[in-house]
Structure 1
Amino acid sequence: MAFKPNLPLLAFLLLSLFFLSTTLALSLATKDPELKQCKQQCRHQERFDKQQRQQCEQKCEEYSREKQQREREEQQGREGHCNREDPQQQCEKCQRQCREQEQGQHDERQCEKRCEERRIEQEREQGRGREGGDNPRWEGSEEEEEQGNTPYVYRDEHFETRIKTQEGKVRILERFSKRSELLRGIENYRVAILEANPNTFVLPHHCDAEGVFFVVKGRGTISMVCQDNSETFNLQRGDILRVRAGTTIYLTNKDNHEKLMIAKLLQHVSSTGRYQEFFGTGGENPESFYRAFSMEVLEAAFNSPREKIERLFGQQTKGAIVKASQEQIRALSRHAQGGGGHFPFGGESKGPFNLLKKRPTDSNRHGQLYEVNTNECKELEELNLAVSFANITRGSMLGPFYCSKATKVAVVVEGTGYFEMACPHMSSGQQGRQEGGGSQRQEGGAHYQKVSARLSPGVVYVVPAGHPVVAVASGDQNLQILCFDINAKDNEKYHLAGKKNIMKKLEKEAQELSFSIPAREVEEILNKQDETFFFPGPHQRQEGGRAYA
């Protein structure tokens, strides 16, 4: 007997499915303001045709669903805190599932990365639970919610893992202009983080970028090979080193227990507008650039037979960061020079100097600031860069202040806390709510939106020139922040509180006209704070506890 479909019922089911999907989409857009804004931007793209707008809106929905899924997983993780298994075991199980799934190498790495991020977050949650139960993840003037779409803050998901082996990894931050035109002025700069396990070797390579390296932790060596000479230097925490574009370098971690971690600011010089490492040594992994040439060319260049060349460039499969024996480490370190020297760069070798051995420019019981600028160092002057390291005592704060010319690229090295910045370029839809619902833009004046974010190790944030900013350490540990200052020549730092507050230099009449209250009241408030640059934080409840780098 032939089957006869029930057409009215089928039509009803199709209509129901359409209605359900539409309702879900509308519900999604209603609950997620970011999704609504994303779709609006898609619809207002004049260069898009109808199909491109639909594809754009679909990507918005996909992103929103992924974000909600992450939020659900985090919530489940918090609710199941007491019953869950060890985060490391969960991570290993998760990564095994990533490898078992049929997917491309890139997708597999992204899947493993999400597992690792989940492990880190779970361990942080467990740590917070042990330390005090209901303490907030960050401390502000009130309970704040950070919006994820600010272009000034970058977290783990904004990094790309370029190199990864069992012995270490290199991560590169996305272009600063990728999410917003507001940072177009620094799009030629990238932040990179190198991590190498104890007793390891980073294979020789060169980059199409000028680099300034800062040793975050660990001990090692770096060898720099130029056309006419080569030099090897010892490295330790606090060392700064310039690496010129095209210089072949290789590194060792000579410590038996501690990882070597280096933060880099890179300014690419290639006409491609992209940053890239080039490995001449290696084989299949890392792939040697020699393998791109024809065998006939290689035979002629090396004056060697094919079989020897194939062996030379066909053996290495362990990746760009490999384990080395202690004998090999000692041999590679045998001719290493100094390292950890006092400021400034010494001699003609252009070796590293140690920023943390320099006298602090600002120091009190609430923190210390170490700085080197373009006037003090020719190597940095050529790049128009400055470097600083702030160590903020737990419960204390740095600033508020602003820079006259430099844009700060800040990398959180250690500790937790939060930062706040006054920004005239963000709308309230882009960065959360303000206290009391915000203020209205006044005719002839600017409206400043508060940009704020939680800080933890690895977070990168950007402070454009002229933008007042403050950083606050949590109550349980010091907050350490490394800053690369771009466009640093003739830059000045303007204090907005404390002894050096520039507002104190206004004449009494200017103060009265500006604040519309008697000058004596202005002076009373401005003179109340007698510290400089580092102050007690909003929630500091105990005295003492000097910070040390």
Structure 2
Amino acid sequence: MSTKESFCLAVFALLLVSAFGVKDPELKQCKHQCKVQQQFDERQREACVRRCEECSRQKQEREHGGGGHGSYGEEDQYWNRESPIERLRECVKGCETQRGQQRERCQSSCQKEYEKERERYEGNERQEEEEGEEKQQHEENPYVFKDHHFVTGPQTQHGRVRILQKFTDRSKKLFRGIENYRLAIYEADPLTFVVPNHWDAEALVFVAKGKGTASLVTKDRRESFNIKEGDILRIKAGTTAYLINRDQNERLVLANLMQPVSTPGNFEAFYGAGGENPESFYRVFSNEILEAAFNVRRDKIEKLFGQQRQGAILKVSREQIQGMSHHEEGGIWPFGGGESKGTFNIYEQHPTHANQFGQLYEVDSSHLRFLQDLDVAVTLTNISRGAMTALYYNSRATKICVVKDGAGFYEMACPHMKSLQSQNHHEGSSQREQPGSRRESSDTPRYQKISSRLKRGTVVVVPAGHPFVAVASNNQNLQLMCFVVHANDNEKHALAGKRNVINKLERGAKELAFGVPEREVDQVFRSQEEEFFFKGPRQQARDFSDM
């Protein structure tokens, strides 16, 4: 265990006990944890004890001041006790003991302090990330995106929007085919309201977790409907949209594939309803224009657009939720061409492939007509613990996959990495290539294994033509939700299993390609009786050991 981990355990012991209201034992326990850590030197032990005392003092001040304890996050540690967002939560809870304007001023003061703290906090994190990325730039797997590859958009103590960096920021050569697509993750706490806004981008939305109510407004029409995990929704560019998380316990998480229509690779959210935070775009227009546009006096306009200061994601009461959630399940999906009379849920479709080792669900233009216009499909892969998918590739589609749940790893064959590394080597070398010499990239293809561990929230890009396999851990299933870009006329080609492409070759082609008799080729490629999901490496190894 590292020194940092040991210290965190000591502090966490105090926080865990304090959450249950124990008065004195938690400080004693925290100090004891500091003193028994063998990795600490004397200076570190003293610093640890001082931290315990400081945490205890802050807890007592909150209790005596009437402030409550903020709730803790889920297993992915969405709420960090030491972060500005958690301090904001504590501050706002302390305001609940006040009334009227005094309470509003208290909340506004909390929000302003949070903004200052967040700038300092993110600035420090950004500096650490940049220093680390300089060293890892040429070592990282460019096809895998982790937490530090996301930037935070609108955020309050009740939720946030995380936007993945542009794919071409990692590699212009590898991701040129998807340079005009962006991935955004929306997270909203229970009983929250996302302020109405519109985007200069087409959005394909997958409800990854939770349930809520979505409302879409265009021209003089508003459509509201209830959404749940597994639902798929298109929101056209320029459509004013707002959301409610109507669940009392579960967070609402949406995965959005954005296709900008104005500036390639970049999109923006535009807030009309709002005030100072989120800032309403109405505020930038001159008073004379607004007076004429609304046909009201300036003071009323200034009052209207000066009230909202709580951010784009707000906590709301159950009564407010009920007032905005009176919609039938299965209401007509707007802007979808009218082909579906109800909510289209991926879990309610028959799986394309299914056996004891996993299930693959696919939704394409044959299910939803608007997917034809977007040239996108949506898939959900559930791999049973210890199992794996077949090795396969897509003929023309690139998959942008988000690990929805679970853990595991993946491997992919890539012909580009060696040429990129060779190119970087030649560009960085002062030696000139001799006439007549040949670079490695001009020879027959050389493949490199691309691999990475997968955990919830990891994003993986699998380009067209690249053989790929995913394996679930032995402890839990692995769930992959994928946006399949350039899906029209795409075909999956299995490289192992009952229907793999090698089995379709004629005898002469097999013998010439592998240099062995056909029967030896078939002994390998016809031994797997399953079609798309198989036993994983360790499960297979146990079978071999019993032979």
User: For the structure 1 residues 112 and 446, does the alpha-carbon distance in structure 2 shift closer, same or farther, using more than 3 Å as the test?
Assistant: closer
Distance 1:171 1:332 in 2: 26
- For 1:380 and 1:236, the matched residues in 2 are separated by 20
SS of alignment partner, residue 185 of structure 1:
helix
**Cα 1:340–1:511 shift into 2, 3 Å:** farther
Match of 2:144 among 139, 145, 153: 153
| 1:112 CA displacement | 7.1
Percent identical pairs in the alignment equals 50
Q: Distance in 2 between matches of 1:258 and 1:102?
A: 26
Deviations 1:121-149 (A, max 9, x none): xxxxxxxxxxxxxxxxxxxxxxxx99852
Output the CA distance in 2 between the equivalents of 1:250 and 1:101. 24
**Deviation string for 1:416-470 (max 9, x for gaps)?**
1111110000029869xxxxxxxx9697410011111111111111011000001
- The Cα of 1:300 is off from its aligned counterpart by 1.0
Matches within 5 A, 1:103-142: 106-111=119-124
Q: Which amino acid aligns with 1:108?
A: Y
Deviations 1:138-172 (A, max 9, x none): xxxxxxx9985222111111111101111111111
Deviation per residue, 1:288-325 (Å, 9 max, x gap):
11111111111111111111111111111111010111
Distance change >3 Å, CA 328–CA 487, structure 1 → 2: same
The 5 A counterparts of 1:18-57 are: none
Structure 2 CA distance, aligned partners of 1:224 and 1:294? Answer: 29
- Corresponding position of 1:92: 81
1:97–1:258 distance in 2 versus 1, CA, 3 Å = closer
Q: Distance in 1 between matches of 2:421 and 2:441?
A: 20
Aligned partner of 1:298 in structure 2 is: 290
How has the CA–CA distance of structure 1 residues 169 and 300 changed in structure 2, closer, same or farther, with 3 Å as cutoff? same
Q: Does 1:426 align with 2:425?
A: no
Q: 2:351 aligns with which of 357, 360, 363?
A: 360
Change (3 A) 1:245 1:534: same
Match of 1:221 in 2: 213
Number of residue equivalences: 433
Indicate if the aligned counterparts of 1:232 and 1:337 stay in contact, CA closer than 8 A.
Answer: no
Q: Note the 1:45-444 alignment, pairs <5 A.
A: 75-77=2-4, 85-86=12-13, 91-93=80-82, 95=84, 106-111=119-124, 149-181=140-172, 182-271=174-263, 273-338=265-330, 347=338, 352-427=343-418, 444=443
Aligned to 1:456: 455
> Structure 1 residue 107: deviation in Å?
4.2
Structure 2: distance between partners of 1:348 and 1:470 = 34
Contact 1:239/1:340 (8 A) holds in 2:
no
Tell me, yes or no, if structure 1 residue 493 matches structure 2 residue 486. Answer: no
What is the distance in 1 between the residues matched to 2:308 and 2:113? 25
CA distance in 2, matches of 1:112, 1:304: 47
Equivalent residues of 2:224, 2:327 under 8 A apart: yes
Task: Give the CA deviation at 1:400.
Answer: 0.8
SS at the partner of 2:499? coil
1:184-214 CA-to-partner distances (Å, cap 9, x unmatched) read 2211100000111111111100001101100
Match of 1:477 in 2: 476
- For residues 264 and 137 of structure 2, the distance between their equivalents in structure 1, rounded to whole angstroms, comes to 35
The answer to whether the aligner puts 1:539 opposite 2:531 as a matched pair is no
Matching residue of 1:128: none
Letter in 2 for 1:388: T
Report the AA paired with residue 356 of structure 1.
Y
Equivalent residue letter for 1:197: D
- In structure 2, the CA distance between the partners of 1:502 and 1:351, relative to structure 1 (3 Å rule), is same
TM-score under structure 1 length normalisation: 0.72
Q: Does the aligned pair in 2 maintain the 1:235–1:339 contact within 8 Å? A: no
Give unmatched runs, 5+ long, in structure 2: 17-54, 56-79, 89-111, 129-135, 423-438, 543-547
Structure 2: which amino acid aligns with 1:169?
Answer: R
**Alignment partner, residue 436 of structure 1:** none
Q: 1:80 to 1:430 in 2, by over 3 A?
A: farther
Report if the CA contact (8 A) 1:473-1:479 is conserved.
yes
- Deviation track 1:208-240 (CA, whole Å, cap 9, x = no partner) reads 110110011111010000103110111001000
CA contact (8 A) 1:210 1:267 kept: yes
Contact 2:83–2:121 (Cα < 8 Å) also in 1:
no
Cα distance in 2 between the residues matched to 1:171 and 1:331 = 29
Gaps in structure 1 of 5+ consecutive residues: 1-73, 116-144, 432-439, 544-549
Name 2:502's counterpart in structure 1: 503
CA distance in structure 1 between the partners assigned to 2:190 and 2:501 by the alignment:
48
Q: 1:261 to 1:371 in 2, by over 3 A?
A: same
Q: Which moved more, 1:386-395 or 1:80-89?
A: 80-89
Are the structure 2 counterparts of residues 278 and 148 from structure 1 closer, same or farther at C-alpha, using a change threshold of 3 Å?
A: farther
Cα deviation digits, residues 82-102 of structure 1 (max 9, x gap) = 656359789434648999999
For the 8 Å contact 2:396–2:487, the answer to whether it is kept is yes
Closer, same or farther: CA 146–391 of 1 in aligned 2, 3 Å: farther
Task: Confirm or deny: 8 A CA contact 1:235 1:340 kept in the other structure.
Answer: no
Q: Tell me what 1:19 maps to.
A: none
> Normalising by the residue count of structure 2, what TM-score does the alignment of the two structures yield?
0.73
Task: Tell me if the contact between 2:398 and 2:463 (Cα under 8 Å) persists in the aligned partners.
Answer: yes
| Cα displacement (A) at 1:109 | 3.4
Instruction: Output the CA distance in 1 between the equivalents of 2:289 and 2:487.
Output: 46
